[in-house]
Amino acid sequence: MKLIQAIAYVLLLVGLVLVVGARGMDSLAAAQSARLTAKLSLAQAEFNQEYAGKTVGLEAELRKLATDLSAAEADARQGLIDQQSAKRTELQDINQEKADKQAELDAGEWRELRDEAENAKHTAVMRGYWHDVGFVGGTVVLTLGLVVVGFFGRGGERWVCLVMIAIITFSLYIGGMAWTGSLLP
């Protein structure tokens, strides 16, 4: 009898560890995938903010020059046109620099980040199957332990185990998706 109870407690412990571990691993895989996707988004946002900061001032100067140009006298107009042309050239140079840098990042650093994020998604799905298998297996082991303690236990532990068996049975036959959510196609 003591051996049966010892085996039952080992089954409870192993089953509980498998069930909790399988769900915890799913959460960690999803968090890793989200982190890598956010890392790429952050790199792209910082890049866009850097060049937005460079172009905002030039665009404001161009608007001011356009206003000054319309109000200027004929002899001052040429100087303003030259300034406006220089600012437009500077803005075009910055936009070209941005496009070149973006193409370089798309082919290098951002491609690596994008590949890591994409691979993390696929890896999470692939490992998710085994996490679900671990969850179902852990639940079976946990249920076996609950059955043994429910039939051979005493007092409160027996009733707690029987209630937990009822909850597991309800989730299996009524809900069902808690068991096989990712295993189904």
What local confidence, expressed as pLDDT, does residue 184 receive?
47
Written as one string, the DSSP assignment of 30-86 is HHHHHHHHHHHHHHHHHHHHHHHHHHHHHHHHHHHHHHHHHHS-HHHHHHHHHHHHH
Place of tokens 């051979």: 152
179 pLDDT exceeds 60?
no
Q: What is the mean pLDDT of residues 33-41?
A: 87
Render pLDDT for 58-79 as a digit per residue (tens, 0 to 9): 888 888 877 777 766 666 677 7
Average pLDDT, the chain: 82
What local confidence, expressed as pLDDT, does residue 160 receive?
92
Render pLDDT for 126-167 as a digit per residue (tens, 0 to 9): 888 888 888 888 888 988 999 988 888 888 888 998 899 888
What local confidence, expressed as pLDDT, does residue 54 receive?
80
